[in-house]
Amino acid sequence: MRVLFIGDIYMELGRKAFDIYFDQVKRDYKPQFIVVNGENISDTNGLTEKIYKDYLKRGVNVFTLGNHAFSRRDYPEVLDLQYVVRPANYGPTTAGKEYVEYNFNGKKLVVINLLGRIFMRDPIDNPFTKMDILLKKIKADYIIVDFHAEATSEKIALAHYLDGRVDAVLGTHTHVTTADNMVLPKGTLYITDVGMTGAVHGIIGGELKQGLRKFVSGVPERIKPELSGPLQFNAVFLDLDNKVIKRINIREE
Ligand SMILES: [Fe+2]
Ligand SMILES: [Fe+2]
């Protein structure tokens, strides 16, 4: 099973980078299944139904989310869309799905999204024990986990906790690519962070000028996206049967 996983597509320039590089990456890697982290894909955070429908038409199969899953007023409708998965470790009454199942030529693929707890704000359930609960009820040929988390230690720990029990643990949320793509001892494919798709010279997608002003003054401001400059497209290619994980890092000069 050949999978392409695209890291957090960040707002307008993220969608622009996707428009420019997606077809080329598809031609080069010939994925059979495509997952996009879309927690920042719309200009107001989160995912919209319009973007969902458009990207599905273009070949994306599943959207994962993150801490911005609930940033939009219409989030219950978005989380209801068939191939959108929200972080599983919110409480049981939360809108949306704890995992998404996809039937691919007679094989069942499951995509799970989980949120970390270290340096994250929401008082959510333990992602480790949540996975134990989920793995007891999920029956699938392939399981892919998007672990949306800040701390590298928590990401590496969860990956080893799930090693041999899921096919891949892919980190998102920091928006910065790490170079540690590897096969863990029991066969799970892993990377600490896939990286983001969008502006190269913003502050992880936010406007450079504003980001600098905030860090220098310490005064909080609502983040505006960077709207100009070179683009990056960050993803990983996975071959789940042959245990391959390759980074795809396109960065314009
Ligand atoms: Fe993000
Ligand atoms: Fe995030």
The rounded Cα 64 to chain-centroid distance in angstroms is 5
Distance in angstroms (rounded) separating the CA atoms of residues 88 and 134 = 9
Mean per-residue pLDDT for 181-202?
Answer: 98
CA–centroid distance, 239 to ligand 1, in Å, is 25
Give percent of the chain with pLDDT exceeding 90.
Answer: 96
Joined tokens for residue 112 = 């799970």
Q: What is the pLDDT of residue 7?
A: 97
Mean of all residue pLDDT scores within the chain? 97
CA–centroid distance, 60 to ligand 2, in Å, is 20
Radius of gyration, CA atoms only, the chain: 17
In the block, residue with structure tokens 């031609």: 27
Q: What is the pLDDT of residue 214?
A: 97
Query: 3-state DSSP call for residue 147?
Result: strand
pLDDT digits (tens, 9 = 90+) for 130-184: 999 999 999 999 999 999 999 999 999 999 999 999 999 999 999 999 999 999 9
Q: Work out the pLDDT band at 42, boundaries 50, 70, 90.
A: very high
Q: Work out the pLDDT band at 193, boundaries 50, 70, 90.
A: very high
Contacts (Cβ under 8 Å, ≥6 apart) of 203: 210, 211, 212, 226
Joined tokens for residue 43 = 């200009």
Q: What is the pLDDT of residue 3?
A: 98
How far does the chain reach from its first CA to its final CA, in angstroms? 33
β partners of residue 197: 9
Q: What is the pLDDT of residue 1?
A: 96
DSSP result, 68-90: TTT-STTHHHHHHSTTEE-BTTS
Q: What is the pLDDT of residue 200?
A: 98
Q: Which ligand is the nearest neighbour of the Cα of 9?
A: 1
Q: What is the pLDDT of residue 241?
A: 98
Q: What is the pLDDT of residue 160?
A: 98
CA–centroid distance, 27 to ligand 1, in Å, is 26
Find the domain containing 28 and state its range.
2-251
Give percent of the chain with pLDDT exceeding 70.
Answer: 100
Could you tell me the CATH number of the domain that includes residue 89?
3.60.21.10
Q: Are 5 and 217 in contact (CB under 8 A)?
A: no
Mean per-residue pLDDT for 183-192?
Answer: 98
Question: Which residues are close to ligand 2, an ion, with C-beta < 5 A?
Answer: 66-67, 173
Contacts (Cβ under 8 Å, ≥6 apart) of 211: 202, 203
- Catalytic positions: 68
Confirm whether pTM is higher than 0.95. Answer: yes
Mean per-residue pLDDT for 79-88?
Answer: 98
| Burial bucket for residue 14 (CB in 10 Å: 0-12, 13-18, 19+) | buried
β partners of residue 99: 112
Joined tokens for residue 210 = 């504003």
Sheet containing strand 182-183, edge to edge, reads 99-104, 107-115, 142-148, 168-172, 189-191, 182-183
CA–centroid distance, 242 to ligand 1, in Å, is 29
- Provide the number of structural domains found in the chain: 1
Mean per-residue pLDDT for 48-56?
Answer: 98
Mean per-residue pLDDT for 49-59?
Answer: 98
